[in-house]
Structure 1
């Protein structure tokens, strides 16, 4: 379940621990970000656990009805896409650092996925991808401008340098799930842009409901979990992550001479410190595999606990044998 909602949550500190306990008690994993302006995150668990969490967040939990109407998307994975559960409190649920922006007060015009193609094919519409450069590199909409930002806070500088409210009368924007565009569209309106549009539900909703034969999206959409990317129908994509720098990699990237599985890639080829750490991690993973043990996350913790129990049982058997 991926969700976000801009809502007044002045009691985020009090909400954090109960929410984390609720999720952990049901083996839900992922990340939820709480801030005074709302909630954002993606989590995974059994269908029953996710249904229970939805009820807790949107109906019968301590949030009351403050999260009613949240943007929520459901999808399925063959294996757990997250290793642990984290609930974090931050100043913003998506960081822009623009105090004048308030999506609860003003945002751009929402455009349903079914109407998106018609809008972005118009010659009088400037189409902007609000995501970061590494996300755009995996896939984007045809004709979209790439701000080439390393993080969302740089989007303000891009607007100042490349967009002009006197010239760009109609601006359409999109992002992964819709949340960044809530702030981006609110920011453009605060800067004097008159007509601002954004894709409701983001790329993920578009890929879910628009047939591939009608799609204007090329490539795959980066997602912030172990799937790395998804394609049309939200099917898992073909991208992977560099374990040294966490940059998403295409098949062409993995054919590059600077790519070494688990150790380095073309995007971090000069960072020797990252390579050494990644090489040691890769070595530990290989040793774990040779021994038939898990290496990461809860699986590794469970594996270690199993080995401790087995060792304790053998010691107890030895002790009993010695007594006999």
Structure 2
């Protein structure tokens, strides 16, 4: 097993990738050659990845990935661990990079939902309302067991078992969000980006937390958030300083 410092990265990008299968083979070969482990999901709607390895190897792989002009906008979030948190390397082609089961929701084919910078969210939460004076609702789009590790103070938690439960939960609770500014959030931004599109389609005032909880931790130190953030690797959860929770 590789020992530290191990660089851990996570990022996603909604972008049209009709050659997902061919791209999968190329990315797998290079990641394997560089000794990286983790998961890369590719679909026609984009890419979603969590990888770890020696810093130079990780950054070499990312540089090669971003040489594809379609993927130039990828901006990985970084954290560190003493040992490799993943058991193996998996690079897979999927129908969606985050499953929602709403074929009409295609972020790669539509304008991005409004994104709220972490610093702006922290300021809104400090003042108790958005810049228009509206009540803020923090809407957690993660699974219930993830929320149990930590969440924003007073966040709405619909106890989702999986992300594809979100549309039905929204249909049941839409009235509770009307007239308020809804900020959807998740671990790294991918779920709350899709969720914000659905919220907007329902006529709600919605924002996505840009970069998710991990970017919020990085930029603000985690104010207005209690607990840790669950991550899908052997570290299990990260504290506000992005170190593994113990």
RMSD over aligned Cα, in angstroms? 1.5
The verdict on how the C-alpha distance between 1:88 and 1:141 changes in structure 2, with shifts beyond 3 A counting, is same
- List gaps (5 residues or longer) in structure 2: 1-8
Cα contact 2:139–2:156 (8 A) shared by 1? yes
Number of the residue aligned with 2:230: 222
Number of the residue aligned with 2:64: 56
| Distance of 2:119 and 2:165 partners within structure 1 | 30
| Distance of 2:115 and 2:178 partners within structure 1 | 22
Number of the residue aligned with 2:210: 200
The verdict on how the C-alpha distance between 1:106 and 1:188 changes in structure 2, with shifts beyond 3 A counting, is farther
Number of the residue aligned with 2:221: 211
- Higher RCO by CA contacts (8 Å cutoff, separation 6 or greater): 2
1:207, distance to aligned residue in structure 2 (A): 1.2
1:192, distance to aligned residue in structure 2 (A): 2.1
Number of the residue aligned with 1:74: 78
Other structure's SS at 2:70 match:
coil
- Given the alignment of the two structures, is residue 111 of structure 1 paired with residue 116 of structure 2, yes or no? yes
| Distance of 1:224 and 1:167 partners within structure 2 | 33
1:145, distance to aligned residue in structure 2 (A): 0.5
1:148, distance to aligned residue in structure 2 (A): 0.5
| Distance of 1:106 and 1:168 partners within structure 2 | 23
Between Structure 1 and Structure 2, which shows a larger proportion of strand residues? 2
Between Structure 1 and Structure 2, which shows a larger proportion of helix residues? 1
| Distance of 1:191 and 1:88 partners within structure 2 | 32
Report which of the two structures shows the higher radius of gyration computed on alpha carbons: 1
Aligned residue pairs total: 231
Number of the residue aligned with 2:92: 88
Cα contact 2:122–2:220 (8 A) shared by 1? no
Instruction: Give the TM-score taking structure 1 as reference length.
Output: 0.69
1:165, distance to aligned residue in structure 2 (A): 8.6
1:47, distance to aligned residue in structure 2 (A): 0.9
Structure 1 residue ranges, 4+ long, deviating more than 6 angstroms after superposition: none
The match for 1:172 among 161, 164, 183 is: 183
1:221, distance to aligned residue in structure 2 (A): 0.3
- List gaps (5 residues or longer) in structure 1: 239-324
The match for 1:15 among 20, 23, 40 is: 23
